[in-house]
């Protein structure tokens, strides 16, 4: 049985060096490399979108969880930083903050939930990627 798709996107290069137009659902996005890497900085770089995806999933999941618990967390902020090293490989540092104060117990639960968000679980498990020639 073939798995059911839950998301889809299409990326198309343009005549502008590295600028790429991404279509997903009803949304069009632009990706590019910073000028330092030969791009025009017309949009976020690919790793920026990876962090944006993780941050959005984390904030949304924690908001849903807090609402179910009846917690007034206020705004949830997720700061992320991706690092690459030959020694330690690729890692992401995620720092959570809320605009309203929470107890230590609430924070412990939110941090636990953050480690179980859908995008977090996908990244930690690794994702099989296949490539083939299209029409």
Each residue's pLDDT tens digit, 46-97 = 999 999 999 999 999 999 999 999 999 999 999 999 999 998 899 999 999 9
CA-wise closest residue to 73 among 100, 96, 107, 97: 100
Looking up tokens 């639960």 gives 109
pLDDT of residue 61: 98
Query: Each residue of 33-44: pLDDT tens digit?
Result: 999 999 999 999
Q: How many residues belong to the chain? A: 135
What is the pLDDT confidence band of residue 1, given thresholds at 50, 70 and 90?
confident
Per DSSP bridges, beta strands 76-85 and 27-31 are unpaired
Q: CA angle, 86 as apex, 82 and 87 as ends, to 5°?
A: 95
Looking up tokens 């017309």 gives 42
Which residues does residue 134 pair with via DSSP β-bridges, in sequence order?
A: none
């Amino acid at each position: 049985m073939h798995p059911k798709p839950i998301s889809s996107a299409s990326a198309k290069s343009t005549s502008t060096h590295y600028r790429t137009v991404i279509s997903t659902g009803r949304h069009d996005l632009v990706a590019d490399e910073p000028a330092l890497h030969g791009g025009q900085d017309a949009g976020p770089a690919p790793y920026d979108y990876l962090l944006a995806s993780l941050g959005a999933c984390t904030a949304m999941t924690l908001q849903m969880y807090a609402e179910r618990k009846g917690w007034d967390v206020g705004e949830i902020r997720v700061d992320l930083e991706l690092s690459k090293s030959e020694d330690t490989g690729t890692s992401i540092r995620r720092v959570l903050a809320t605009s309203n104060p929470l107890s230590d117990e609430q924070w412990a639960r939110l941090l636990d939930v953050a480690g179980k968000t859908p995008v977090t679980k996908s990244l930690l498990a690794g994702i099989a990627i296949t490539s083939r020639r299209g029409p």
